[in-house]
Amino acid sequence: MTKTSIQFKYVQKSFGDNLVIPDLSFTVQEGEFVTILGSSGSGKTTLLKMVNGLLKPSAGEILIGGKKLADQDLVNLRRHIGYVVQQIGLFPHMTIAQNIGVVPKMLNWPHEKIVSRVTELLQLVQLDPDSFADRYPSQLSGGQQQRVGVARALATNPPYVLFDEPFGALDALTRLELQREIKRIHDSLANKTFLFVTHDINEALFLGQRVMVMHDGQIEQFATPEEVVTHPATAFVKELLGTVQQNEQLWGRAHD
């Protein structure tokens, strides 16, 4: 039986007079990989930040694992929610191992447990522990740093992981490689709910078991990639998909 993991009920968010999210309701099931796609300023980051309590809704209710977010201790909640962002913010003066182990250390895990968890996570994100554990962030490529960011977010084995444009700054090939990796990681970890914000339509369609298309703080469509492609629900979704087709046509023409 599927279990509800994250639920928004009539959520509204304003910044001052600016009503960014007028009325948002949706449900994500435990273990789902949901991608959130939308134009710039459509409220995607705001949505993610409301899930981990960095922002509070102006009205409505959010439930995480069936419990009201408003009633939960935020420090404790964030330990159960991994967060990966584009500017991943590794600590420059700490080694890769120390960066990944930062939260376990804060939680007073024994040293041996941290070392074995860091090794396991480096292997999971396909960075050889012998070669990478003792390096510093500046000695890694952008793609490798993002892998460390993913490892760090998974350190305490959180049931929920939020990704905000994690691969946005990477070149196309590295991006493709990391997309495959993140899909493999989701498949290999049981019951982890991933919410993944992206501007990239192909990325959203490739990764998401369901894709949420947002525009002006509202959901235009929330469906499987197949459904989105074959039955775009609104003119906006159609237009968005049209941009990909247009790119493909241009590409085709360039290679005629």
Q: Which residues bind ligand ATP (CB under 6 A)?
A: 15, 18, 20, 38, 40-46, 199
Of 14 and 72, which CB lies nearer to ligand ATP in the complex structure?
A: 14
Among residues 66, 30, 67, 69, which one has the least CA distance to residue 48?
69
3 state SS of 177: helix
Of 50 and 127, which CB lies nearer to ligand ATP in the complex structure?
A: 50
Shortest distance (Å) from residue 86 CB to ligand ATP: 9
User: 54: phi > 0 → left, psi -120 to 50 → alpha, else beta; which?
Assistant: alpha
Shortest distance (Å) from residue 215 CB to ligand ATP: 9
Evaluate whether 76 touches 67 at the Cβ level (below 8 Å).
Answer: no
- Name the one residue in this structure whose structure tokens are 């396991």: 120
Of 41 and 142, which CB lies nearer to ligand ATP in the complex structure?
A: 41
Of 58 and 156, which CB lies nearer to ligand ATP in the complex structure?
A: 58
Shortest distance (Å) from residue 198 CB to ligand ATP: 9
Shortest distance (Å) from residue 4 CB to ligand ATP: 24
Of 12 and 45, which CB lies nearer to ligand ATP in the complex structure?
A: 45
Q: What are the backbone dihedrals phi and psi of residue 119, each rounded to the nearest 5 degrees, phi first?
A: -60, -45
Q: CA 39, CA 34: separation in Å to the nearest integer? A: 17
Among residues 120, 113, 198, which one has the least CA distance to residue 154?
120
| H or E stretch covering 183 | helix 172-188
Q: How many CA atoms lie within 13 A of 143 on its CB side?
A: 15
Shortest distance (Å) from residue 14 CB to ligand ATP: 9
Shortest distance (Å) from residue 17 CB to ligand ATP: 10
Helices 172-188, 142-153: inter-axial angle, 10-degree rounding: 20
Of 99 and 165, which CB lies nearer to ligand ATP in the complex structure?
A: 165
